[in-house]
Structure 1
Amino acid sequence: MTFPERTIYLLHRQCSADISIDFALLRQHIKGKFYLICSNCFRSHLRRQRKDIYFDAILSVPSMDDFSAITEAIEANVDIQHEQFDILSIEEPTVSLCGKLKRHYGLQDFDHESYVDKLEMKARLRNSGIVIPQHQALCRQTWLNAPASYLDQLVATIPFPCFIKPIDQAGAVRAARLDNQDALEHWLANWQDDGYQYEIDEFIDGTLYHCESILRHGEIIYSQVNEYSTPCFNITLGQALGSITLAETDPDHINISIMSRKVHALLAPIKHGVTHLEVFKKHDGTLVFLEIAYRPPGNLASEMYLQRCGIPLKELHIFIQVDPEMDLAFTPTNYVARYIYPLPPMEGVVNRINPPQLTSDFQTYWNYHVGDAVNANTGLCKNAGRMLLWNDDETALRADFEKLRSYYPYTVTPSYEVISDAQL
């Protein structure tokens, strides 16, 4: 790969999380200057990991919400009138910011809000023939002004069970399933002004899928549909979250790929990059649009697609935006699955790592070792570890995938037992 020379700014908002991208691979192929714009705390995090060496400079700002500070950092390092440059993102919290910056500098004439704001994306799909959940934006001030009438209006509009979530977050952050009116009233009564805008949706019961699509010049050149082991929210309930690739001939792969093309045609004109679509299939076979993001999925995305078709998906999201004409070949080889394991239900100490018994090839990415203290589960933001498995036999991989639903990587002694033993 030989990319055109231009200055690249990569945005990163989260403070404690790793970008989980191969900086060495990016640096090897990107010509021109390569800058990271991030918060002060993440700059320190990268330096501790010695990953700052891959950038010409890390441009840290006090807050990634400070648009002026970010534009000042950009303009201090490039002549915006005469030099070629681009601004890219790889994670959900910076997709919106990236679109606004691109539009601000005339790099494109649209923003990314229809790939971030769940209300806007569903509004664009209304009356298109694509099924969307019943939903409504929540207004805290309306609740505070007239709680009884607002509760009555919500109950009359959205059936139970219902699902509440922020309109612009990922990974089931601050999401809640509510089964009746009392639960909804309790949630509203405890709703604090946390800076998030929320929506309330009907709860969809069925199988959840994710579909990654690679776009070039606005056209989808590759799609892969994957079946989740359980909806993402259920990791907060202690369930392992997995997904497995479907064969191109699988009816669900075919139907969801068709749906993906319709969704992309109706949303903003993304030209190049990777999108991540989530779709429910109800028990009667109806496909229901859930959401779409202009980014690859998170955990093990590149590793999963390298095994599936030889493509490092996260890095490709950057590469194809830098050089849309790059040579690409997709050669499906293995069927692939991944699992993310939650932290245990109670804090404790790891006293054993349980080896998985599988016929497929696999690789584990455990976050803890014997003797380590572990906190209790709080959701996807922190996990116990991950596993990637692959096999050229789809049936064998599926059998291992099902087996891993009930597997857990650690035997954990609860903290109160450790304390009791120490007092003996």
Structure 2
Amino acid sequence: MTDLAPDLVVLHRIPHSVTPLDDWLAEVADRVTLITSVESEPGYAGRFPRVVGVPDYAEGPGVPQAIDAACRGGEVSTLVHVTEDDVLRAAAARDRYDLPGPRHADVLPWRDKLRMKERVAAAGLPTPAFAGPDADLAAFAAAHGFPLVVKPRFGFSSHGVAVVRDAAALAAEVARRDPADVLVEEFVPGEVHHVDGFARAGETLHVLPSRYLNGCLAFQDGEPLGSVQLDAGDELVPRLAALTRAVVAALPPLDFCPYHLEVFRRPDGELVFCEIACRLGGAHIMESFTRTTGVNPARLWIRDQLGLADGPGTPIAAGERRHGWLLVPPRRGRLLDLRHPGADRPDFLTDFVVKTPVPRDFDGAHGSTDSIIGYVVEGTDSMDVEKNLQACLDLTEHLTRWAA
């Protein structure tokens, strides 16, 4: 490492085992201050001049404080963000220190689900009926009926999302929340799809559509969350692509960045906007995207933010094979053992990720990405991928041992 003051600040809580930033940023590693979680800090220690581990990374005050400590001297030239919990606080810091990149006003409609839906609905796109914290919720419920969905305006990974089925449950759910951070929506039945890719300046550059298995609230019933990439010839692909382009165009234009769009498909086939984010999809969307296109979206985006890659000029195209992923949520109880597949590993399994130490006590899952095992699989087509994911569920029973 050199004696130069690190002028590149990277906010990134994902572990080194998933995102080896020192390899990805080798050309400028001696200029990086990494602000990460205390859990991920050991994996990055010694790889950059400064590695700052922050407790309670997602919600505590440590990240803004660490940003200010790094930036107040005036040497910082670039501030990089990656995950959704950093979108707004990185943008706010760019405002404070006049740094390049998206500002708070640019990204707010991509994070605040109320502002987001207002803009998408104003563009004439199918959107669930919704009401913010100042609305007459009794009148809203009378107009749209139950069930209804209550969620935080600034949440992610389905944390804090609840389905309520009567007026008493609605009142209780709203009463226990921050009144400024409440969004109530019409419940939309049917399948849920997600679309992932990159956009720039309001233009959608790439589209990779997938279908969720079980839906993002499956964890509330102890069911796994997964998704399967759609076949190129699926009739939904052009329809999802058209909706994606319209949604991206309805929101503030940003620099080159990934997006993660979620879309309902009603039983009658109508596509309805759910929500969108200006960041990579969670779970194992990154790995599935990489396997299908040959381009790691996290690596490309981080390097583009630092001027080390030409994101918009990078060719990204899906290959012939399809991929999917599966997250197995914890049960209630004590997980005694979790072993790797070894000789039981199927040929179609491309990634196997253990998400927890053992033994460990669990009280169930609290968000859509809470899990003990993650699988990524490949297949000849979507149907083959879904079959292989089912086989992973069967394999889980042989790899885990829970207390009776």
Q: TM-score, normalised by structure 2?
A: 0.84
Shift of 1:185: 3.1
1:112 is paired with a residue of what secondary structure?
helix
1:79 lines up with 2:75 in the alignment: yes
Out of 342, 366, 391, the residue aligned to residue 354 of structure 2 is: 366
Amino acid at match of 1:338: W
Residue of structure 1 equivalent to 2:209 = 225
Structure 1 residues 303 and 153: CA distance shift in structure 2, 3 A: same
Amino acid at match of 1:339: L
1:245 lines up with 2:266 in the alignment: no
Residue of structure 2 equivalent to 1:159 = 145
Out of 131, 136, 146, the residue aligned to residue 131 of structure 2 is: 136
1:203 lines up with 2:196 in the alignment: no
Residue of structure 1 equivalent to 2:304 = 320
1:288 lines up with 2:288 in the alignment: no
- Structure-1 separation of matches of 2:340 and 2:33: 41
Amino acid at match of 1:33: R
- Structure-2 separation of matches of 1:304 and 1:24: 22
1:90 lines up with 2:82 in the alignment: yes
Unaligned runs of 5+ in 2: 1-5
Cα displacement string for residues 264-317 of structure 1 (whole angstroms, at most 9, x for unaligned residues): 111011121111111111111111111111110122233212210111122222
Shift of 1:79: 3.1
Out of 321, 327, 341, the residue aligned to residue 328 of structure 2 is: 341
Shift of 1:161: 0.5
1:187 lines up with 2:185 in the alignment: no
Superposed counterparts of 1:24-39, under 5 Å = 24-30=22-28, 33-38=31-36
Identical positions, percent:
20
Shift of 1:125: 1.3
1:93 is paired with a residue of what secondary structure?
helix
Superposed counterparts of 1:299-314, under 5 Å = 299-314=283-298
How large is the Cα RMSD of the aligned pairs?
3.1
1:391 lines up with 2:379 in the alignment: yes
Structure 1 residues 304 and 129: CA distance shift in structure 2, 3 A: same
- Structure-1 separation of matches of 2:28 and 2:66: 25
Amino acid at match of 1:75: R
Residue of structure 2 equivalent to 1:56 = 49
Larger radius of gyration between Structure 1 and Structure 2? 1
Residue of structure 2 equivalent to 1:278 = 262
Amino acid at match of 2:156: A
Amino acid at match of 1:390: E
- Structure-2 separation of matches of 1:54 and 1:352: 30
Unaligned runs of 5+ in 1: 1-5, 143-149, 418-424
Q: Is the 8 A contact 1:137 1:200 kept in 2?
A: yes
- Structure-2 separation of matches of 1:249 and 1:264: 23
Q: TM-score, normalised by structure 1?
A: 0.80
- Structure-1 separation of matches of 2:127 and 2:225: 24
- Structure-2 separation of matches of 1:351 and 1:106: 48
Count residues in correspondence: 384
Amino acid at match of 2:68: T
Shift of 1:254: 1.4
Out of 45, 59, 69, the residue aligned to residue 39 of structure 2 is: 45
Shift of 1:32: 6.3
Q: Is the 8 A contact 1:24 1:54 kept in 2?
A: yes
Q: Is the 8 A contact 1:359 1:400 kept in 2?
A: no
Amino acid at match of 2:90: C
- Structure-1 separation of matches of 2:345 and 2:29: 45
Cα displacement string for residues 234-263 of structure 1 (whole angstroms, at most 9, x for unaligned residues): 112111100111123322121111111111
More divergent stretch after superposition (28-37 vs 348-357): 348-357
